Every structure is written in C-alpha cells, then in structure tokens.
Amino acid sequence: MSDASHLLRPGSFANKTAFVTGGGTGLGLAVATRMGRLGANVVCASRSLEHHEELLARGTSEGFEVMSAQLDVREPGDVKRVVREACERFGRIDVLINNAAGNFVRPAMLLAPKGFKAVIDIALNGVFYVSREVGRRMREGGGTIVNISAPYASTGKPGVVHSACAKAGVEAMTRSLASEWAQFGIRVNAVSPGPFVSKGAADRLWPSEEMEQQVLGQIPLGRFGTAEEVGELVCLLASDATPWVTGAVWLADGGWTLPQAMVEGDVARVVRRKPTDTPSEPTT
C-alpha cells in the first residue's frame, strides 16, 4: 500500500482552526489528527465525549490544541452555541469538515419512517445546520468546507436508500454552497469514499465475515480503504494547496463503483495477469 501522507507540507494548517464533526472516531479522527499534526487547532464535535478521548490524548502528547465539544448536529441551537464557543476560544474557524453521519443496512420496504428521518436528520439536515452557522462566521475572511459523501449518492444501492438520499442532498448542497459562497472566499467540496475500514462501518455495514468478504469482492483494487488515506484527500481539499477547486466531489473508492462484470471468473485471471506473462495469441 502506498503512503498518501506526503501530499501536504508540514505546517499546512498552522494558525488555522478546523471544526470536525464526528472527529473522535473513524475518518473524523484520522482527519482531526492529521490536521492537528499539520498545525491546526482542532474542534472535535459529536454526541459522546468518550469518543474524544483518543484525539485529546494525541493532542496532548503531540502538542496540538483540541477542543472537545458535545454536539448533536440535529439540534440547530446546540450547533449555534458550539460554533460560538469555538470562535471564542480560537478566534475563528478556517476549516469545516462535515463528517458526522449515521447509517445502517435496511431494505426500503422494512425501513420505518423514523429510521429514514433519523439518517436524514444527521447526515443531511445536520450538514446544513453546521455549514450555515460556520459559513456565517467564515463570511469575513473565507474558509474551506469539506463534506463527506458516499458513491451511492449517484449510483444508488440496495439497503441504504436513507443514506443515499442524504448523501445525494449533501452533494447538491456542496455545489449550491460552493456557487453561493465563492464570493466570500469560501470553497466547498466533498470527498466520496468507497468502503474503508472504521469500527462504525464494520459494525453497521458489514457485520459478518461473509458480508465483509462480499464487499471486499466488489472492490477491484482488492482491499478496503483506510481512514488515513481518505483523510489525506479531505485534508488536501481543505488546504491552501487546492485554491481553485470548489464544488467538486472527489471519488476515492478502489474502483468500487466501476462496472464489475469484467473482474469475475476467467476474465479476472486474464485481467490480473502480470505484464511479464506471455501474451495470448488472437483467436481469430
């Protein structure tokens, strides 16, 4: 596996404050840690303060500031308060990562309206509440926002209609806010990762060994992604290294969304043959 951690220069986020929703686990933890190591003050905002302990420990041992904030992104009043407190502590917010989400697998015919609404409330409405509040603060001086989507926002996928609808909305919000807020120097982009390893994903999306193997078999590059390599793309889009990128959705999925028929059975053996193998003769 190659190492993506050379993409950003040391100090890329020096003197900046990054607000990361769900920053205590999985992808959020990888992004928050990387930004802290690159010089940022980090606001870690989610419901469970226990989830922030690992990031707080890393901040203490590695010398970056972490503000642990209890926040349910579904509550606009809480969002307003936490954003205000973050600005009081660090002066401003330069970077927002809308990473918090909830998901589970349920066929649409068995999905209760309450379950559909719960996922939309966190993964779509919550992204709007936080973006709106932070965007109002970024209006003076600009900033960058990176939203976390998923490839099935555009392809669709069985069992996750709730999350697919939320993420499709997030991608529409990404483009709409990018166009509306460019005048304020605010860039808005999204990263759309395929299946990467996190406890949350493993518990909810591929809970059994059999399901894990099934998902793995759908990834042409032959492995799950890592939170760190997806996180590096998130950091790149949030950094000053991509000043002319806005309204973009960057896909990083190991080929998960490519047509799959060509990598099955005999064809797979041909496709995966080493380049040094003798080429087969044409049959006609």
The encoded tokens of residue 47 equal 């419901």
From 152, 196, 206, 250, the catalytic residue: 152
Site residues for ligand NAP, window 32-61 (CB under 6 A)?
A: 46-48, 51
Environment class of 87 (CB within 10 Å of its CB; exposed 0-12, middle 13-18, buried 19+):
middle
Q: Among residues 71, 164, 235, 238, which is the contact residue for ligand NAP, using CB under 6 A? A: 71
Q: Among residues 36, 135, 193, 220, which is the contact residue for ligand NAP, using CB under 6 A? A: 193
The CB-of-215 to ligand NAP minimum distance in angstroms stands at: 9
The CB-of-94 to ligand NAP minimum distance in angstroms stands at: 20
The CB-of-99 to ligand NAP minimum distance in angstroms stands at: 5
Encoded one letter per residue, x for contact with ligand NAP by CB under 6 A and - for no contact, window 14-33 reads -------xx-xxxxx-----
Whether residue 129 lies in the annotated active site = no
Considering the complex, state which of residue 185 and residue 255 has its C-beta at the smaller distance from ligand NAP: 255
Closest of 181, 216, 238, 250 to residue 13, by C-alpha = 238
3-state secondary structure of 250: strand
Partnered with residue 96 across adjacent β-strands are 19, 145
Please give the Cα distance from 32 to 212 (Å, whole number): 27
Considering the complex, state which of residue 8 and residue 153 has its C-beta at the smaller distance from ligand NAP: 153
The encoded tokens of residue 186 equal 């605010």
The CB-of-193 to ligand NAP minimum distance in angstroms stands at: 5
Please give the Cα distance from 25 to 173 (Å, whole number): 24
Instruction: Output the CA–CA distances (angstroms, integers) from residue 97 to 20, 27, 187, in the order listed.
Output: 5, 10, 12
Helical (H) or strand (E) element with 24: none
So which residues are the catalytic ones?
152
Contacts to ligand NAP by CB under 6 A: 21-22, 24-28, 46-48, 51, 71-74, 99-103, 122, 148, 150, 193, 195-196, 198, 200-201
